[in-house]
C-alpha cells in the first residue's frame, strides 16, 4: 500500500465513521452494534452501566477490536478497521472532552442533568483508535446468529383474530 493509498484509506475510515450512526464492534466475543461519536481521530463509545448499551467483551486498555462501519442509508458495510482500545479514566481531561461530545448525541437519556455523573460513576467510556483499514471485502456474507437475549416473541395470533377485529370496527 502506497502512502497515498494509506491516506485515502484513513480518510475513508474517518468520514464513514463520522457519518454512520452505528458501528459493529468486536472485542473477544461476538460483534455488537454500538452508537458512537467520532472525536479527535477515534470512535468513542459509552456503555456497561445502567440504561446504557452493553459493550462487547474484551474492550480493555491495550486490547484490540475489530470495527465494521455500515452505510447510514443502505445499512451495508462500507469499511472495516482494526482499533487499539483505550478505556478513558473518569473525570480526566480526555474523558471530559469525549463525554461532552457523547452527551450531545445521547438520545432519550432519562436523566439528562445527571448524565455525566452517572457515566463517571457507573459506566465506561472507551476510545477506539484506528490502526489499519481492511480494504479487501470478504467473500462471504459475515451473517451471524443473533445473540442470546431474554426478550421473547409472543405467541402467534389466532387465525380468527382479523375477523374479530373487523367485527368490532363494524359495530362502532
Task: Report domain extents, the chain.
Answer: 3-171
38-42, 130-134, 158-162 — which one is most confidently predicted on average?
38-42
3-state secondary structure of 7: helix
pTM: 0.79
Tell me if the domain spanning 3-171 has CATH number 2.40.50.220.
no
**98: Cβ contacts below 8 Å, ≥ 6 apart:** 37, 39, 44, 88, 125, 127
125 vs 39: CA distance, rounded Å: 12
Residue 108's pLDDT band, with cuts at 50, 70 and 90, is confident
Residue 35 has pLDDT above 70, yes or no: yes
Strands 23-26 and 32-34: antiparallel
pLDDT at 116: 92
pLDDT at 168: 62
pLDDT at 120: 95
Convert the pLDDT of each residue in 3-25 to its tens digit. 888 888 889 899 999 998 899 99
pLDDT at 171: 54
| Residue 51: CB atoms within 10 Å | 13
Amino acid at each position: 500500500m502506497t502512502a497515498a493509498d494509506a491516506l485515502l484509506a484513513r480518510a475513508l475510515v474517518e468520514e464513514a465513521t463520522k457519518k454512520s450512526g452505528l458501528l459493529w464492534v468486536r472485542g473477544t466475543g461476538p460483534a455488537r452494534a454500538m452508537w458512537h461519536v467520532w472525536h479527535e481521530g477515534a470512535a468513542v463509545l459509552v456503555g456497561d452501566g445502567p440504561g446504557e448499551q452493553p459493550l462487547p467483551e474484551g474492550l480493555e486498555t491495550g486490547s484490540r477490536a475489530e470495527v465494521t462501519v455500515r452505510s447510514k442509508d443502505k445499512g451495508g458495510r462500507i469499511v472495516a478497521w482494526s482499533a487499539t482500545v483505550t478505556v478513558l479514566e473518569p473525570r480526566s481531561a480526555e474523558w471530559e472532552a469525549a463525554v461532552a461530545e457523547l452527551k450531545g448525541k445521547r438520545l432519550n437519556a432519562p436523566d439528562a442533568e445527571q448524565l455525566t455523573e452517572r457515566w463517571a460513576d457507573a459506566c465506561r467510556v472507551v476510545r477506539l483508535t484506528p490502526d489499519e483499514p481492511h480494504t479487501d471485502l470478504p467473500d462471504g456474507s459475515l451473517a451471524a446468529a443473533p445473540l442470546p437475549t431474554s426478550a421473547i416473541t409472543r405467541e402467534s395470533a389466532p387465525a380468527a383474530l382479523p375477523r374479530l377485529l373487523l367485527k368490532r370496527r363494524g359495530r362502532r
